[in-house]
Amino acid sequence: MAKLNIIIAPDMRLKRKCLPVDTVDAATAKLMSDMLETMYDAPGIGLAAPQVGVAKRIIVVDPAMEKAPLAPIKMANPEIIWTSDEKKTHEEGCLSLPQEYDIVERPDKIRVRYVDEKNKTQEIEADGLLSVVIQHEIDHLEGTLFVDHISSLKRGMILRRLTKQKKQGRTYYDTEPA
Ligand code: NI
């Protein structure tokens, strides 16, 4: 396994619409494992392929984080096929927007169809933190960040702060080039 560089916003690579995966082959499965290692190391509870510079519809999530047992889920072509009418708010952060948090409203429960690391189609229902993380990561595949769900005023403040820190050469992850 290998650790990957996490791209920090603002960056055009985080704004692209990602392409579907044809087949989850050995190379895709390795990318999924590398993404998971990168996510645990950061540490975070979700990571999408565009955050490591790959414009493909791949995400990894694990809301258990450092609490044992770990519960990683690797998804290619994840698709939300049902959402509850009930919505909930949750404070979200993002490895591409380090140390920035805000409240986002999303459907409480979802049903997701995806292709797993063995190229098998799976379906799961999720609520609570798992539901939030999956929706947040699928957003990344459309070039949408959590700040796109908040007011333009707050979004502007966060992105300006990150731009300034980039100009100062500040880094967050030890794999990020200085
Ligand atoms: Ni994110």
**pLDDT, position 62:** 95
- Which residue in this structure is represented by tokens 């731009």? 163
How far apart CA 43 and CA 135 sit, in angstroms, is: 19
Residue 135 Cα to ligand 1 midpoint, Å, equals 10
pLDDT value of residue 175:
54
Q: What is the mean pLDDT of residues 73-89?
A: 98
Mean pLDDT of 10-23: 97
Which pLDDT band, with edges at 50, 70 and 90, does 178 fall under? Answer: very low
Taking the whole predicted model, whether its pTM rises above 0.85 is answered as yes
CA–CA separation, 124 vs 132, rounded Å?
Answer: 14
By CB atoms closer than 10 A (0-12, 13-18, 19+), residue 105 is: exposed
Confirm if 39 and 62 have CB atoms less than 8 A apart.
Answer: yes
Q: Are 57 and 80 a contacting pair, CB within 8 Å? A: no
Identify whether the C-beta of residue 47 lies closer than 8 Å to the C-beta of residue 59. yes
Dmax (CA) for the chain in angstroms is: 45
Cα(14) to centroid(ligand 1), Å: 10
pLDDT tens profile 137-154: 999 999 999 999 999 999
Cα of 144 vs centre of ligand 1, distance in Å, is: 9
For residue 45, report the distance from its CA to the centre of ligand 1, in Å. 9
**CATH architecture of the domain covering 12-167:** Alpha-Beta Complex (3.90)
Q: pLDDT tens, 101-111?
A: 999 999 999 99
CA-based nearest residue to 98, from 42, 53, 60: 42
Cis peptide before 107 (omega within 30 of 0): no
More reliable by pLDDT, 64 or 174: 64
Give catalytic residue positions. 137
Q: How much distance in Å is there from the Cα of 44 to the middle of ligand 1?
A: 9
List the domain boundaries for the chain.
12-167
78-82, 94-98, 155-159, 168-172, range with the lowest pLDDT: 168-172
Ligand 1 centroid–CA 126 distance in Å is 18
Contact 57, 18 (CB under 8 A): yes
